[in-house]
Every structure is written in C-alpha cells, then in structure tokens.
Amino acid sequence: MAEKLHHVVFEPDGRTLRVPEGQTLMEAARAAGIHVESPCGGNGTCGGCRVIIPERAPPPTEVCRRELTGEELARSVRLACQVRVVTDLRVIVPQETGLGDQKILTEGADLPVPLAPNVRKTAVHVPPPSVDDQRADAERLLDALADGGLADLAIDVRVVRDLPDRLRSFDFHPSVVVIGDQVVHLDRATAADACYGMAFDVGTTTLAGYLMDLVTGKVVAVASRANPQTAYGDDVIARIEYCGRVKAGPRTLQALVVGAMGEMVAEACRRASIKPSAVYEAAVVGNTTMNHLLLRLPVDQIARAPFVAASSSAHSVPASEVGLKIHPQGRVYTAPLVAGFVGADTVGVILATGMHEGDRLRMAIDIGTNGEIVLGTRERLLACSTAAGPAFEGARIRYGMRAATGAIDRVDIQAGRVVIHTIDDAPAVGLCGTGLIDAVAALLAAGVVGPTGIMKSGQELERAAPHLARRVSGADGDIAFMLAGKDETGGGHPILLTQRDIREVQLAKGAMAAGVHTLLGEFGATVDDVAEILLAGAFGNFIRPDRALAIGLLPRAPLGKVRFVGNAAGGGARMLLVNRNLRRVADDVARGVEHVELSQRPDFQMRFAEAMLFPGG
C-alpha cells in the first residue's frame, strides 16, 4: 500500500523532495533537514514560517488569514506549517532563512539534550561598597554570583581591568556573562537574555554552522560555506603537504577557515537579527587536520607514519587567540579527537547517535572527503578513517561540481533512455555527488559498466542498447558516457562521465567498503550482525540508499537497516554547545574509542582491492 508522493521543490536552493500526501511543508522541510524558521515550533501561533508558493497556492487556512496580511496573502505567502501537500509544488523559502547556493546539511534531528550551556548570562544585584564593606570589586561580584547560585567562579585580570568602570556605570546591577568557571564580561542588565553560541562542523570540503540561543537551546539560524582551504588542496594530505612546502601555509589556511567561520557567524546573526558580539562561545568539531589547522597546531606529523596528532584533547581558547569574530571575550571550544585522522567530527557522530550508550551493534558511516566509520556498542567502539577522497563532493571528476544550481543530482535509465534531473531544473552544467552515484548505479544496471568498472564501447552496446550506445564516445582509457547532451545543457558542453571518473568512484567506495569490512573483522562481526547502519554527513541525506547499495558504497544490507542521521557531527557540536557536562562525556568517548589504523594493516590493502569491484562481480 504505497503512499502517494508529490514532488516539492524548495527554492532558492532547488532541492526536490518527495513528500507523502497530506504532510505539511514544515514537516517535509524538517524531515529533509531544510531550515525553515519556526519560532513557535510549528504550532501555527507565531506566523514565523512564511514561504511563498508562486503557482497553485492552496487557499489560506484560518491561521494563515490571522497571521498574514492581505498583501501577503495576495503575494501567495503562506505559513509552511499550514500548507498540506496534495500536489507537486514549488516553494520559495525567504532568502534570509535559505541555505544559500549549496546543499549543505545544516540541521539534523532534534537533540534531546538537557540545557546546561557552558555560557551563562545572568543579571545580578551587587551590593555597592561602603566603608563597612570594602571588599574589592571582583570579589564583591563573585560573592553576589555565589549568592545567586553560581559559585566557585574566577575573574581573569583582563576582565577586572574594565570591572570597576562597568560595575559603576551599570549601578552595580550588571548582566554577567560566565563561560565555564570564568566571568568574562559585564553587560547592562537589560541585555540579560541575549546569549548565543555557534556550533561548527568544520569539514575538509564544507563548513556548517548553527547559531543557537543558549537561553532556549534552539537553533535560530544556520549558515554554510565551502571550506576555502580547498583552494590549497582537495584533501587533508594535500593541505598538510602545502603546509610543509610553504612556510606561511599554516597561517594562510588558518586565516582562511577562521575567516569563513567568522562570515558564517555574521551571516547567521544577520538572519537572527542579533549582533555577533552576543555570541560568546563556539563549539567546533572537525577531523584531526581541520582541528589542528584551526588551532594553529603543527600538522606534518599527522601525515607521516605513525600518524599522530599534536594534541587530541579538547581545548578551550580565547576567540581572539584563533581570530574568530564573536564577542571579544568569547571562547572557542574544540571537541577532543580520537587518534590519527579520526577526529572530533567522529566524536560528534557518536554523541549525536548515542552509539556510546547503545546496546545493539550499530555502524555509523560518515561520508565526507575522508570517510569515517564507527562500529560497536557501549561496551566497545571501533573507528577508522578512510581517504575516500572528494569525488562525491565533486572534485577529481571531469564534470564534477558541488550540489548547486545546474548540477545533475539524479540519473535514471528507464527503458534504455537516460533521464536526468538537475538542481533548480536548470540547464545541466555538471555532476554532483548524488548524481555521480546515480549515474554509476544506472550504468551498472544497464550493463554499460561491468563489475570491474570497465565501460563498454559503443560497438559492444550497439545491439543490446542502441540508445545508450550512441552516448558512448572515445575508446580505451579515454572512453566516456554522455549524461547530458546539448538539449539538456542549454547549448553548453555535453556532460560526460569518463572511465577515469568511474575509477575515482571505485577508489572512494572501495576505501569506504574496505574500512567497513576491516572494522567488522576487527570486531569479529559480519554485516548481518549489525542492527543498524547510520548514514551521516552533509551529503548522506541526499543519497538514494538503493543506489548507494547498488554501487557497493554501503555494505550489503536490507534497506530497512539504513537510517539517515543527517549531519550528526554537527549535531554533536550543537549538543556540546548547549550542555557543558557532555564535554566530559566527549573526553571519555574520545579516549575510549579504539582507533584502527587502516594504512598499516596488511588485510586492508587486499580488502581495498577487492572492494573496488562493483557488486555482482
């Protein structure tokens, strides 16, 4: 009894969802990780989730009529929580809450984490000094905070420098910002409620940021960017080599990433109508290299056997120390790393999926430029990192591109004919990660590519699939399949998938699969023992799992075992931002996970070679 699905295209980022009939736009957007403002939580009471439905706008509900102006109703503005999907739709999400020009997953599942942020802001009445009470300003303030339940705090000398002036200009009734056990700032009492933090997932290729209200624990805005370091290398090894080659390299890469992070803060704050100076802490997860580059720690020993980090601990440093533009007295918390290339992003995935507390054997696969795999239960967790490479993020692929307008994001071969879909339905300009997986899966299914990854020539295909045969050009190593011709590219160059591209896919999926099997072997388990496969990553949510299974990117398992968990690494960062107690848990997780160093295992190379074959070989 299949439910009826409708295609809903979300503008301006062009993502298309198949939405079950009767679901609201808000529910659909949430399920797909598309951020739509919903201050009231989707209850139709705040009117915050405005979207525009330019064609076939449904009649406004009573709530829409109450919350929206006549002018808005006439412009086809509706509330996303009020629109039930009963037909295909195109929906424009107002720009200030949109995702920008790239599909980057910036919101995962809601996190059931108690609110206990490391940053606290509280208004306090400090008794003014008198001849009978000559306590110093700092100790006077600390005593007042202790009376209010915030005991055992300290004030750094740098903060004391402003303290006498501030206490007096606020008439001894300031709003006090505390980070950890440190009083870091005094503000006027009226600003008591403005207290924000930013959670970051710093990926090799993409950056995701979540601006969180630390009083409510809610995400109030998101921002994302390509990691500008990519200009200096597609993967971490290339960037480490760059740092070894060019003296100013580390400084350059650090400035790039922290600059982009600062832009993200500014952008998210603009959307939420707050000042970046109301952001007091950033919580950052990232792999070992991203972590070290951000903190200006040396990276060259990471890339040389035996591949060790300079420091795997969590750090909390002044924002000014790394140059992140939040409140001048703000701090940057970086979550702890596991070992080797397995970093804090993996710790984030574990925290967000609760694998460190689970009884059932589960596997998390985080597909990024490096692929991290975690396997285990609360008793024992194994993790490894594989150099999957940035193929699925568009790099090293002849016509590869990021998931932006004009990217082919879906490829099917139906009745011998190629059917493509592009983001924003725009003329095709390239091929993004999901399109790449789809294309390879389709060519495998159609017999154009064999299990060893060799593409058949036009001649070989002529009889069985004449429509497809015509799309094959070149010969030998240079052979290629045309995914989109002039008609579909608006007269631009045709989009080809080359033999070399397929090799890149084989390398990437082979690395992932070999990692999966090495971990299973180390654990003494088989795929069948795994109760659930959690697919994480900025990119995971957009993959069609059957296609990923078809090319062997995911281990051979029933589709029902596969669950998308969104950007779980970023989810971990959000949890660590809003709950300081979890930071000790993160330390334990980071220390407790057994790191499996793939590169040094004799079985890995063999498994890798095997795993480069496509299923069915």
Q: How far apart are CA 420 and CA 160, in angstroms?
A: 63
* Token pair recorded at residue 389: 């490479």
- The amino acid occupying position 188 is R
Query: 306 or 616, CB closer to a second copy?
Result: 306
241 binds a second copy (CB under 8 A): no
Binding mask 393-412 vs a second copy (x if CB under 8 A, - otherwise)? --------------------
Q: Which residue has the tokens 């040389």?
A: 304
Query: 168 or 486, CB closer to a second copy?
Result: 168
160 binds a second copy (CB under 8 A): yes
In 3-state terms, what secondary structure has residue 540? Answer: helix
Minimum CB separation of residue 309 from a second copy in Å reads: 4
Of the candidate residues 157, 245, 248, 414, the single one contacting a second copy (CB under 8 A) = 157
Length of the chain: 617
Q: Which residue has the tokens 């107002």?
A: 94
Minimum CB separation of residue 145 from a second copy in Å reads: 14
281 binds a second copy (CB under 8 A): no
Minimum CB separation of residue 337 from a second copy in Å reads: 7
130 binds a second copy (CB under 8 A): yes
161 binds a second copy (CB under 8 A): yes
Binding mask 340-379 vs a second copy (x if CB under 8 A, - otherwise)? x---------------------------------------
The size of the interface with a second copy (CB under 8 A), counted in residues, is: 45
Of the candidate residues 28, 64, 105, 163, the single one contacting a second copy (CB under 8 A) = 163
154 binds a second copy (CB under 8 A): yes
* Token pair recorded at residue 354: 């609760």
56 binds a second copy (CB under 8 A): no
Query: 136 or 419, CB closer to a second copy?
Result: 136
Q: How far apart are CA 498 and CA 200, in angstroms?
A: 36
Q: How far apart are CA 108 and CA 285, in angstroms?
A: 15
Q: How far apart are CA 173 and CA 179, in angstroms?
A: 19
Q: Per CB under 8 A, which region of 84-92, 293-301, 383-391, 470-478 contacts a second copy?
A: 293-301
Minimum CB separation of residue 607 from a second copy in Å reads: 17
Q: How far apart are CA 519 and CA 383, in angstroms?
A: 7
Minimum CB separation of residue 46 from a second copy in Å reads: 42
Please, which residues bridge with residue 283 across strands? 199, 333
CB-CB contact of 456 with 450 (8 Å): yes
Of the candidate residues 169, 459, 526, 600, the single one contacting a second copy (CB under 8 A) = 600
Query: 167 or 562, CB closer to a second copy?
Result: 167
Q: Per CB under 8 A, which region of 253-261, 263-271, 307-315, 368-376 contacts a second copy?
A: 307-315
Of the candidate residues 32, 337, 391, 448, the single one contacting a second copy (CB under 8 A) = 337
The separation between CA 139 and the C-alpha centre of its own chain, rounded to angstroms, equals 43
Q: How far apart, in Å, are the Cα atoms of 332 and each of 116, 300, 349, 512?
A: 17, 23, 20, 32
310 binds a second copy (CB under 8 A): yes
Using only the alpha carbons of the chain, give its radius of gyration.
Answer: 26
Q: How far apart are CA 433 and CA 440, in angstroms?
A: 11
Which residues, in sequence order, are CB contacts of 212 under 8 Å at separation 6+? 196, 197, 198, 199, 218, 219, 220, 574, 577, 578
The separation between CA 171 and the C-alpha centre of its own chain, rounded to angstroms, equals 44
Interface residues with a second copy (CB under 8 A) are: 129-131, 133-140, 154-155, 157-158, 160-161, 163-165, 168, 295-298, 300-301, 305-313, 315, 317, 321, 337, 339-340, 595, 597, 600
